[in-house]
Structure 1
Amino acid sequence: MVALAASARLDADDVLRIRWAEPPADGTSLTLRRDGAAHAIDLDGEAADLSRLDLTPGTWSVHAADAEVITTDPGFSLDGLAEYARRPRGRALRTFRAPSGGLRVSVRTVEPYAEVTAVHPGEEKLALEGFLAYGATPADAEIVATRRKTAQQVPGTVSLTGDHWHAELPNAPFAVETERGFWDLRLGGLIVATWIDDIPDKKNKVRFPARHVQRDTDRVRVRAYYTDKDHLAIATTVVPNAEAEAA
């Protein structure tokens, strides 16, 4: 048997709200199951408070009594994911629809990081915008690009308004490059990444325009890019002037 849900969304307080297409019988409880473990929670109307459950990391299936909950709803919205990530927390829950149609709840441990929502490659500086996810404001609100091979650093500036941040990194200091280099970003020690947009593998899907820093006989190409883990980073390459002009 199955229980049909028209929609199922998890709010920022870890309350699962289900709008039933075919409501279960009164007094029915929800059960989350994974690898032989099960946690039951009473339904309060169409709501079930999952914050009280000791859910280990992994994917849990959702059942109403002995019936699996089936839904056509994706289980989340991008606005809802952003609102959820703005709350300080060490454990993140997320609802989603499995390929079978079954309602699932994923559970994972999380740490604070800087979520990127906009990237603006300017001629003189790279500007970034985002919000602080899963934690409080870092004590050191400075953005720093660190070269992987040599640990050279290029610092930038950060302004904070609540949990929203705006950062700027100048392009000119990257003219120290002598070969191809890769620079990782940290904002006050936090990873700088885009994880809330639900687009995996951004390294092969998102490409930002390059900017060039002029030197005597060549130029350094500076380009923001996403890593394999969807962290935002900077790639630098020394190119002849003619090639830079054609890019």
Structure 2
Amino acid sequence: MSRIDSRNVLRLRFREILPDRSEEDAARLALRSRGDQPKTVHVPGLRREGDQIRADLATIPLPDGTWDVMWVSRDGRSEPVATRDPGFSLAERAAYLAEPRDRELRVIRGPEGRLRLRSAPARPYAEVEWVDVTDSHVAISGVLAYVPRTPGRQEARLVARQRELSGVLTVDAEVADGAFSVRVPLADMAAAHESARAHNEWDLWLTTPADGRELRLASLADDIVGKKKRISFPSTVLAGAAGRVRIRPYYTVHDHLSLLATEAGAKAGAGR
């Protein structure tokens, strides 16, 4: 088992500890960056608990990038940690999103079976968990990620911006205990369709009156990358100012959720 908990503690569970490693030796761990000029960061203060080792990474200044998890022997030699665990738990990831942070850590399994750690900036956003398309609306629900969560219900707004055009639509949303839900009516979006542009992309943002911060809607918590080519949503057709308009949700190249509007008679294609 290999996990990062909500406190940025790396937890490793082993099927066995090799007999030639003493407890002190087995608890020596390091992270080595990948690239032409690898850098090694030693992890101090490891805790041994039965078949688990816990490493607190919260205070280690780890630069952005992908790091190999390494054992370091008494004589200074190092070897990569092998794993069969993909390193992902949806429930644990949900707990990770619930706390504000400025850095995100993930454990991943490399293609050759080596354990790696990925460090990246943690930017607040709205994690999309459910999308449903009806004849007239798109219903979206999810949770706030990496921002303080206020207990109880609070008002919110969803803002849809017509990319590279001037259209802006707003709709009431609801946030309750850190979870959001919104129904996006599509009639106004169809009426605002610019037929001179083949693709009208509408980018979606959630904002709350408490701090006015805009949170981009996205699906980043799971281990599915490249959703644009992997996940598709149904479309619906509505009357527009100059004809019928087809609208559907889609994921961008960055796994952000947007809406794509095209003329119903035209090939829908894919938004960016």
TM-score above 0.5, yes or no: yes
Task: Map 1:72-221 to 2 at 5 A.
Answer: 72-136=84-148, 141-174=156-189, 175-179=191-195, 180=198, 181-188=200-207, 189-214=214-239, 218-221=243-246
Q: Which structure 2 residue ranges, 5 or more long, are not aligned?
A: 73-77, 208-213, 268-272
Task: Work out which of the residue numbers 57, 60, 73 in structure 1 matches 2:67.
Answer: 60
CA distance in 2, matches of 1:165, 1:216: 31
Counterpart in the other structure of 2:252 = 227
Query: Alpha-carbon deviations, 1:50-76, whole Å to 9, x = none?
Result: 112111111111122233211111122
Q: Is the 8 A contact 1:112 1:133 kept in 2?
A: yes
CA distance in 2, matches of 1:48, 1:176: 53
> 1:42 aligned to 2:42?
no
Q: TM-score, normalised by structure 2?
A: 0.80
Query: Alpha-carbon deviations, 1:214-245, whole Å to 9, x = none?
Result: 358732212111111111111112335xx9xx
TM-fit CA distance, 1:140? 7.9
Q: TM-score, normalised by structure 1?
A: 0.87
CA distance in 2, matches of 1:39, 1:88: 26
> 1:21 aligned to 2:15?
yes
CA distance in 2, matches of 1:208, 1:153: 23
TM-fit CA distance, 1:107? 0.6
For these two proteins, the number of residue pairs brought into alignment is 235
Distance 1:18 1:101, change over 3 A: same
Equivalent position SS for 1:51: coil
CA distance in 1, matches of 2:149, 2:162: 25
Counterpart in the other structure of 2:30 = 31
Distance 1:215 1:37, change over 3 A: closer
TM-fit CA distance, 1:151? 2.0
Equivalent position SS for 2:228: helix
TM-fit CA distance, 1:43? 2.3
**Structure with greater strand share of residues:** 1
Distance 1:110 1:173, change over 3 A: same
Equivalent position SS for 2:58: helix
TM-fit CA distance, 1:160? 0.7
CA distance in 1, matches of 2:91, 2:237: 35
**Which stretches of structure 1, 4 residues or longer, exceed 6 Å deviation after superposition?**
none
> 1:10 aligned to 2:4?
yes
Equivalent position SS for 2:24: coil
Q: Is the 8 A contact 1:212 1:220 kept in 2?
A: yes
TM-fit CA distance, 1:136? 2.6
Q: Is the 8 A contact 2:103 2:119 kept in 1?
A: yes
What letter corresponds to residue 98 of structure 2 in structure 1? Answer: R
